[in-house]
Structure 1
Amino acid sequence: MSSASTAAGTTPRAAAGWVAPLCWIAVLLDGFDLVVVPTTLSGISAEWGLSAAGASTLITVGLVGMMVGALTIGTLTDLVGRRKALIGAVAAFSVLTLLCAFAPNPFVFGVLRFLAGLGLGGCLPTAIAMVNEFSRRTRGGRATTRMMTGYHVGAVATSALGILVVEPMGWRWMYVIGALPALVLVPLMLRHLPESAAYLASHGRRAEAEDVARRYGLELPTLDAPVDPRAGQAGAGGAAANLRTLFSNVYLRNTMALGVTSFMGLLLVYGLNNWLPGIMREAGYELGAQLAFLTVLNLGAVAGLLVAGRVADRVGARKAGIAWFAAAALLLALLSIRLPTLGIYPMVFLTGCFVFSAQVLVYALVSADHPPHVRATALGWSAGAGRIGAIVGPILAGLLVGAGIAFPWGFYMFAVVGALGALALSITRRA
């Protein structure tokens, strides 16, 4: 069988326990990538004499690569399988990140960042699809949100690591360190990560799917469902068939609405992570070190994810997502009101709770509402639309900061974006 078998002496239940941790670490790399360039940008700019525009380009080019990677590798995942796609994406990202440490000039560095983004962009939709397909059907929201805590843990850890590494050792060492997890992660994936039974079943590989389901205690109602013969085609034909499914009459409304929602969600995530400290400094707050401020924001995100998953499993990802976007909009609007310094940290914590997990609930809904043979494609297209928002968010916020009107107008803008996310999610329907 093509999927990884259980190791000798390891029970199937214990082997199944490898899936979530391995995917969690893969998503942690996304969190590393979020902050590694801003963390090292001062050293890069000093060495190569970059202007502000050149530095901004280096940040943006990786995001563009992640957008393209999400759109393409998400679709590829539904053709070649979750296991191959995830291992390949992690290995490619890690090798290219290591090469960034040896870039001789900003052009080569930018090309490597774009290519690394291609690999990393495919990690997220693939990991979400796999974790959901190895979780109980009633716990899909919890499985998604728990895995996404890795994103914020990675962001906080990388910011802290930057303080310890960049000044004494140089910026290049951050990219060497960022590639090191692959030395352990890829061998563990090769040994312990199975292929998804839902993927196997949707591609007509019934005997293998039943074997994986038996090994890992999974329920596979799709085993008895008719299989689309196009789902198993390799190459462009199979990808085109999956895309036609997403834009068919059955899924078109959700495909468009979820794409808009994901755009709004990642606009908030990346806009806030890049510019919230600057906006608050413009408002006159003495917030101390930027690291401490962003730590509060991302700790709130972790707490919010743990709560959001439980809520989603009780009331559904759609209802929970609408509530989370609406709450995020309200809290962002309230941040436009000046508070005592001690009061702003709890508000930022609560904002992190709702803003970041709102976007993850979109992924949980996409995963729950699409059949296995197009699930990763749907997640990839949702994440790809979101990556456009990830590019737009920092640009808009930066323009407001540059114009000196980010407080309070930056918060008004973010609040409107949150409200639009709730509105877009509210027009989705069960496919």
Structure 2
Amino acid sequence: MNASLKPNGPKTRASAVIDVQKLLDEQPVGRFQILVLMMCMVIVTLDGLDTVMIGFIAPALSGAWAIPRDALGPVMSGGLLGLAFGALCAGPLADRFGRKTVMTIAVLFFGVWSLGSAFASNVTELTVLRFLTGLGLGASMPNAATLMAEYAPQRCRALMVTTVFCGFTLGAAGGGFVSAWLIAAYGWHSVLILGGVLPILYVPLMIKWLPESARYLSLKETRRARLVRVLNRIQPDMADEATRFVAQDTQQRERSPVRLILSRDYVFGTVMLWICYFAGLLTVYLLGSWLPTLIRGAGFTLGQAAIVGALFQAGGTIGSLAIGWLMDRLNPHRVLGATVFVGGVFAWYMGLPGHGITGIGMLAFGMGYCMNGSNTGFCALAAGSYPTRMRATGTSWMFGIGRFGGIAGAMLGASMLHANWGFGEVLTALAVPATVGAAAVLLKGARHRGSVLRVEGSASH
């Protein structure tokens, strides 16, 4: 007689049949899920610290090496390219070898190369080292989203994934304060050393405490012993060597995950996710790179420009949590489509003349809420749009394609300023990628009306 194990119910022994996906979806959020959330959030926080630190040390570097700041452009681009290629490579590897395995190697990788970057002696060396660092950074973040999505119960999955990604802004903001003190006290090398030592020290904790994805382990019988150990961490004596496991995600397992996300059943949703995230990161990187400069060029003070930039980032943190909460309760495609479109409206309105610094600050907060927050929401949407056998690849490839949007955004902003575009013209132009992104996510939702982050075992996304 088959009996599915119920959470918090009587312990079922050797004759039990456990539907792993159903079990994890019905399991209450307890210490185990909170542990996964916190450990993944630390990984994303370290990512945030390491990703932005080169911007913090740029003034000190240009002074120490007696070069203009724009000479560090290849260093910035090298890191961003590394992020893109790291994400593209990491997904298929994680779907083959496991989320924990790839994440652990990635964190060690970017820690080692960040440490090595501290000893670079010229722009060329630092560019190569930042590219290598970016490979590790790009591989770790999307897999953190994947692992969290695979342990979060269905009812709060989007919120838990977006909470993990709040670690990025935490790491970026904390990095600013720490960098200012370290550079003044010990020089620019110390910031890169810190960015390398912290991930390296975190690796043993990941090996000991971070679990491999139970959904990933359930796909193959050869992983049974590891799956039993993980499930017994969630609830003691939940499974043993005689327990039978049921995985709903069993079709087409022999095909490569890259081919699967581009197969007939998934290609439309995949391309729409790429367009959404590309347009979203184009907007955010353009604003993140150039908003303070634009504010300063509009006649406001340097201090006011810094405040506006901070409000944009703060809006993103709050937006990430709020949008994740809404996605768990409403249609996630409509939530994201409406949010991205409103962000474009804020940008257009901010570009109109006549705003004081208070109005600009409020609009910057709103843009951060909509644009930064929705980009985090896309991470949750991607993780929920693919079954286990291809989830890491689908999520990571969205990250990788999106990073090219980030590169394009930074370059586009520079080109606009070089062409003497004014504050209003640049902000008004941002309504275009926002409209494109909103349309793409709404089209994906219209195509897949029945798929609201409930895709495991389904075949049309």
TM-score normalized by the length of structure 2 = 0.84
Q: Provide the C-alpha distance between the structure 2 equivalents of 1:310 and 1:181, rounded to a whole number of angstroms.
A: 31
For the 8 Å contact 1:66–1:117, the answer to whether it is kept is: yes
Letter in 1 for 2:58: L
Q: Provide the C-alpha distance between the structure 1 equivalents of 2:148 and 2:309, rounded to a whole number of angstroms.
A: 28
What SS does the corresponding residue of 1:155 show, helix, strand or coil?
A: helix
- Find out whether 1:385 has 2:385 as its counterpart: no
Letter in 1 for 2:179: G
Q: Provide the C-alpha distance between the structure 1 equivalents of 2:434 and 2:342, rounded to a whole number of angstroms.
A: 8
Deviation, structure 1 residue 47: 2.6
Deviation, structure 1 residue 168: 3.8
Match of 2:77 in 1: 60
Match of 1:259 in 2: 274
Deviation larger for 197-206 or 323-332: 197-206
1:21-420 counterparts in 2 under 5 A?
Answer: 21-51=38-68, 53-204=70-221, 205-206=223-224, 208-209=226-227, 211-216=229-234, 223-225=246-248, 227-228=250-251, 230=253, 241-288=256-303, 291-337=306-352, 338-420=354-436
Q: Provide the C-alpha distance between the structure 2 equivalents of 1:206 and 1:414, rounded to a whole number of angstroms.
A: 50
1:259-285, Cα deviation, whole Å (9 max, x unpaired): 111101111221111111111111112
Q: Provide the C-alpha distance between the structure 2 equivalents of 1:44 and 1:295, rounded to a whole number of angstroms.
A: 23
Equivalent pairs, count:
410
Deviation, structure 1 residue 207: 5.8
Letter in 2 for 1:404: N
Q: 1:339 to 1:229 in 2, by over 3 A?
A: closer
Q: 1:154 to 1:291 in 2, by over 3 A?
A: farther
Deviation larger for 199-208 or 398-407: 199-208
CA-based RMSD of the aligned residues comes to 2.2
Deviation, structure 1 residue 78: 0.7
What SS does the corresponding residue of 1:180 show, helix, strand or coil?
A: helix
% of aligned pairs identical?
Answer: 29
Match of 1:423 in 2: 439
Q: Provide the C-alpha distance between the structure 1 equivalents of 2:47 and 2:305, rounded to a whole number of angstroms.
A: 20
Q: Provide the C-alpha distance between the structure 2 equivalents of 1:175 and 1:210, rounded to a whole number of angstroms.
A: 40
Q: Provide the C-alpha distance between the structure 1 equivalents of 2:233 and 2:304, rounded to a whole number of angstroms.
A: 50
Q: Provide the C-alpha distance between the structure 1 equivalents of 2:43 and 2:305, rounded to a whole number of angstroms.
A: 26
For the 8 Å contact 1:203–1:373, the answer to whether it is kept is: no
Letter in 1 for 2:335: A
Letter in 2 for 1:405: W
Q: Provide the C-alpha distance between the structure 2 equivalents of 1:266 and 1:399, rounded to a whole number of angstroms.
A: 17
1:224-258, Cα deviation, whole Å (9 max, x unpaired): 42624745xxxxxx6xx111101110001011111
Deviation, structure 1 residue 109: 0.9
TM-score normalized by the length of structure 1 = 0.90
1:208-236, Cα deviation, whole Å (9 max, x unpaired): 43553453269xxx9342624745xxxxx
For the 8 Å contact 2:112–2:200, the answer to whether it is kept is: no
For the 8 Å contact 1:265–1:359, the answer to whether it is kept is: yes
For the 8 Å contact 2:273–2:441, the answer to whether it is kept is: yes
Deviation, structure 1 residue 33: 3.2
Q: Provide the C-alpha distance between the structure 1 equivalents of 2:43 and 2:139, rounded to a whole number of angstroms.
A: 10
Deviation larger for 121-130 or 421-430: 421-430
Q: Provide the C-alpha distance between the structure 2 equivalents of 1:291 and 1:180, rounded to a whole number of angstroms.
A: 29
Deviation, structure 1 residue 178: 1.3
Deviation, structure 1 residue 30: 2.5
What SS does the corresponding residue of 1:59 show, helix, strand or coil?
A: helix
For the 8 Å contact 1:243–1:377, the answer to whether it is kept is: yes
Q: 1:295 to 1:180 in 2, by over 3 A?
A: farther
For the 8 Å contact 2:120–2:126, the answer to whether it is kept is: yes
Deviation, structure 1 residue 291: 4.5
Deviation, structure 1 residue 106: 1.4
Q: 1:275 to 1:34 in 2, by over 3 A?
A: farther
Structure 2: 5+ residue runs without aligned partners? 1-28, 239-244, 452-460
For the 8 Å contact 1:317–1:364, the answer to whether it is kept is: no
For the 8 Å contact 1:28–1:150, the answer to whether it is kept is: yes
For the 8 Å contact 2:219–2:247, the answer to whether it is kept is: no
Deviation, structure 1 residue 52: 5.1
Structure 1: 5+ residue runs without aligned partners? 1-11, 232-237
Q: 1:295 to 1:406 in 2, by over 3 A?
A: same
Q: In proportion to residue count, which structure has more helix?
A: 1
Match of 1:8 in 2: none
1:317-348, Cα deviation, whole Å (9 max, x unpaired): 21211111111111111111331222222221
For the 8 Å contact 1:13–1:215, the answer to whether it is kept is: no
For the 8 Å contact 1:242–1:377, the answer to whether it is kept is: yes
Q: Provide the C-alpha distance between the structure 2 equivalents of 1:384 and 1:46, rounded to a whole number of angstroms.
A: 33
Q: Provide the C-alpha distance between the structure 1 equivalents of 2:231 and 2:145, rounded to a whole number of angstroms.
A: 18
Match of 1:7 in 2: none
Letter in 2 for 1:21: M
